Amino acid sequence: MVSRHGIIFLRMEEFWFNLRYFFYSHKTLFDVMFLFLYFLEQLILIYLILIKPENAHIYAGTFALLFITTISFEKICMESRYRTLNENTIIYQIELNELEKEYNVLVDENKRMKELLEQLQKELKK
């Protein structure tokens, strides 16, 4: 039996896994999105300061918090992407090593077969 908490955590895990994969697969989209978000934050700050300059210090503080939060979220997404890339690189390296071992075995077998073929040809010529 699975508890409600277990179901909630399972759904959260699926959501974050899918988000991580989406970010991994669509890096350019996220780069453009974050660039637009930074632009929008700065545009809103300028607009608010122009409308009510007496509250500029409040807007600047809020902007700083929002900007740092956005940068932190982008950092988390990028680290997730790099971790996925690193995991894939390790997997590919392991597969490459296995293929190299198989290749070396095949080269050795081919070499033995050639030697056997040469011996058979010599015996047939006698």
First to last CA, the chain: 79
Q: How far is the C-alpha of 119 from the C-alpha of 56, rounded, in Å?
A: 92
- Which stretches of the chain drop beneath a pLDDT of 70? 1
Count of domains forming the chain: 1
Q: How far is the C-alpha of 67 from the C-alpha of 60, rounded, in Å?
A: 10
Q: Where are the alpha helices (DSSP H) in the chain?
A: 4-25, 27-51, 56-125
Amino acid 1: pLDDT: 66
- Domain span at residue 96? 4-125
Amino acid 23: pLDDT: 83
Q: How far is the C-alpha of 101 from the C-alpha of 47, rounded, in Å?
A: 64
Amino acid 101: pLDDT: 96
